[in-house]
Amino acid sequence: MMHFADSLTFSGRKVVAAWAALPFPALSGSSLPDILSAHQQDVPWKLLSSWREQKVSCCFAQSVVLRGICKEKPTSCPGQPRSPLQSCESPEQLLQQYLHTQFPGAFSTCHVLQQPCDTRPPFPQFFSPLLTSRGFLLDKAQGSSSAGVESIPVLAALQSSPVLHSLLSGLCRDLRARNVRRCSSFFTAGVEQDDFQEALEELKTLSQCYETGFGADGSEDEADSD
């Protein structure tokens, strides 16, 4: 995983963020072009970090894996031109086109696998009754139990993105606010005060590698004022 993350980082960046859609939001019987076309305004996956939710508007590099989506042909009305997504020849090309549209200029790799994620026991059955046994969405719930969900389509992504600026600078700010001298076990474990301060500076520098100059939230100013 460390080497994989290294392949997505450059210009001093060392961290990637994990995102996922579990299950991937797809109506039963819908095609991949139709599904992605319904998410043109916002990507259908969420940040897995405990950091506050943020909308992804850009990224530097990413690797995306989608599995378990059916192969039905895209729907289209007679006489209407096909969209760029509908014109793609393969699922990988389709997903790559979608990523290029959502994140222009980013380095993106993608893989599409036919096999879904197996969710039979002992996988916890915490799914909504709006899912079919194959993990696709229904227009309305059928029954009150989701125990019959045997598999789900899943999308997972690793991204090097500006979201990490807020996450890392927030971590740095929280660490600066703590009086570590009161934690005797912290330094008895072999950590020196000077090493701790140096690590904080390195964390601050790392967070600055993810700045883009747009939508500044003042996190660094707050960290400097501590």
Task: Give bridge partners of residue 62 from the DSSP assignment.
Answer: 108, 159
Give Cβ neighbours of residue 141 (< 8 Å, ≥ 6 apart). 128, 129, 130
Given this model, what pLDDT does residue 74 score? 53
Apex 20 CA angle, 38 and 102, nearest 5: 45
| Enclosing H/E stretch for 185 | helix 184-188
Element holding 225 (H helix, E strand): helix 219-225
Give SS3 for 113. Answer: strand
Helix (H) or strand (E) holding 96: helix 91-102
Domain boundaries, the chain: 1-160, 165-209
Helix (H), strand (E) at residue 138: none
Coil, strand, or helix at residue 33?
helix
Of 71, 97, 83, 98, residue with least CA distance to 153:
71
Instruction: Provide the token pair at 93.
Output: 């090309």
The Cβ of residue 213 has, within 10 Å, a number of other Cβ atoms equal to 6
* H/E stretch holding 176: helix 163-177
At 199 the three-state DSSP class reads helix
Q: Along the 226 residues of the chain, how does pLDDT read in single tens digits?
A: 888 888 888 888 889 989 999 999 988 888 888 888 888 888 888 888 766 656 667 889 999 999 998 655 555 544 455 666 767 778 898 999 999 999 998 999 999 999 999 999 899 888 888 889 999 998 776 655 545 899 999 999 999 988 888 889 988 998 888 777 777 777 776 777 788 889 899 999 999 999 876 444 444 444 344 4
